[in-house]
Amino acid sequence: MRKGWLALVGALALVAGAFGAPAVGAAPAEHSGDRILAAFATFADPADCADGACDAVYLTVAQGVLETATGQMRLDGIVLVDVYPSMVTDEGPFPVGPPMLSGCTMAVDVAIAQNLRTASAVTRGTVGLREFVSRDDGTVACTEPIEHALNLRAGFSGVGVTFSSASHGQYADPWTHNVNGYTERVRMATAEVTGTLDGVPLALPWPDSASLLRTASRTLAVTHRIAVGPVVRGPLHVAAHAELISIGSGSAGDWGVDAMVMRSPDGSGKTYLGVSGVIDEEFCWGDGEPASIVLAGDVSAGTAEGTLMVYCGETGEEYGEVHVSATWTGDGDAWRFRNTGVFRSPDGHGTTLVSGIHRAATLTLVVDGVALAQGSGYLEAFTIK
C-alpha cells in the first residue's frame, strides 16, 4: 500500500483543487518532474487482527530524483514509517483513522533495482525517526526529531510479471496551460524484514502486501502574464452523456467545510457534506449526507446544512453530533478550466475530458449555532465524460 507523499508522485489530477490566479511576475514556463523507485510492505500480527481490526505498520522505502523549476534533489534513500489503526479486508489491513505514528529517516542505505527485481534498506544502526516534510518547492526532508526509533534490515525480491500504466494530458484555465505525463511500473514482491520499532520487534510482513514501484512524471506549465479567455456569464452547459459535479469548499475560523453534488447521466445523484475543525484543542472531522444542499449551476451561490457525527484526536474518538450550516456567495467573475487525459493500464485504456467553471466565494459558516468569522473558499461546477 502506498502511503504519504509517494501516493501523490506523478498523479494526474482531474481537477486542480483550490484555484487562484498566479502572480503577474510569475515565470512564463516551468519544467518539473520526478523519477522514483520505491518498495512497500505492511506489517501486522495475524493474531491481533483476528477480530478484523488491529494496528498495522506501513513501510515505504524510496530513492530517486525530484525535479523542480529551480533544480534537482537527489534522494539517495528514505524510509517512511506510518502506524495506523486498521481494519482487515480481503486485500489486507487498510487504514481507518489518523496515524498513531508517522516518521521518517534518511540515515539508511537503500538500493532498488531499475528492473524491480530486488530492493534493500538497512538503517545505520538504531536511528531516531523525524517528522516528514514535503515542501512547496518539490523537495522533501526528515526534519524535527520525534520520540520514536527504528532499526531495520529489509530485503525485497520481485515476483511474477511487471504491470505498467501510463497517462498524459493537458490542463488549461485563463492563466495557465499545463502539459503532463506519467508512467508507472509495479511488481509484487516478497519481503524479508528484521528489526525493531521503539525496541519492539516488527511483526512479519502481511502476505501479499509487498510491492516494488518505478514511476516517472514530467510537467510543463506555461503561465500567461495577462488573463485570456472569456468571462463566464451563465451556467455550465451539460451534455446528456456527461457526469456533473458541483462543489462548495472553504474555511472560516478553525473550521473547514466541503459540500458536493454528483449527478450521473442517468439522472441519479449523490450528495456529500464534510467538516473539520478544532474542538477543545483537538483536531476533529466528520462527514455524511447533508440534510439540504443547493449549489447554483452558474457558481454564484450555494448552501448546505446537516448534522454529522464527528470524531477527534489521533485515535478518532467519537465526539458526538455537530450541526453545520454553510452559505457561499460568489465573488468576482467565474472562469473556465479544462482538463483532458489519456490513460492506459492492465485494466484498459480511455480518455477523460473535464470541463468546468470556477469562482471564488465568501463563506458564512455556522457550527452548532455559533457563527464563525467570515471565511473564504470557492464554488465550482464541472462535467466529466
Report d(CA 233, CA 78) in Å as an integer.
Answer: 50
Confirm if 239 and 230 have CB atoms less than 8 A apart. Answer: no
pLDDT of residue 221: 86
Give the model's pLDDT for residue 13: 29
Locate 332 and state its grid cell. 468576482
The DSSP letter of residue 4 is: G
Q: State the greatest distance between any 2 C-alpha atoms of the chain, in Å, as a whole number.
A: 63
d(CA 380, CA 241): 20
**Spatial contact of 159 and 134, defined as CB atoms under 8 Å apart:** no
What region does 341 belong to: left with phi over 0, alpha with psi -120 to 50, or beta?
beta
Neighbours of 111 (CB within 10 A): 15
Residue 324: count other Cβ atoms within 10 Å of its Cβ: 24
Domain(s) of CATH 2.40.370: residues in the chain? 243-384
Q: Which CATH number fits domain 243-384: 2.40.370, 1.10.20, 3.30.70, 2.60.200?
A: 2.40.370
Phi and psi at residue 138, in whole multiples of 5°? Answer: 95, -5
pLDDT of residue 216: 95
Q: Give the span between the Cα atoms of 107 and 151, in whole angstroms.
A: 10
Integer Cα distance of 108 and 125 in angstroms: 9
3-class SS of residue 1: coil
Return the C-alpha cell found at 54: 488491529
In the block, cell 494530458 appears at 169
Q: How far apart are CA 225 and CA 338, in angstroms?
A: 19
Helices vs. strands in the chain: H and E counts, helices first: 0, 22
**pLDDT in the model for residue 159:** 96
**What gap in Å lies between CA 127 and CA 119, rounded to an integer?**
20
- Residue segments in the chain with a per-residue pLDDT below the cut of 50: 1-26
Counted residue by residue, the chain has a size of: 385
* pLDDT value, residue 230: 59
C-alpha cell of 52?
A: 478484523
Q: What are phi and psi of 353, to 5 degrees?
A: -125, 120
d(CA 246, CA 297): 8
Please report the pLDDT score of residue 193 as a whole number.
94
pTM: 0.70
356 vs 381: CA distance, rounded Å: 5
CA distance 289 to 328: 18
Output the pLDDT for position 313.
81
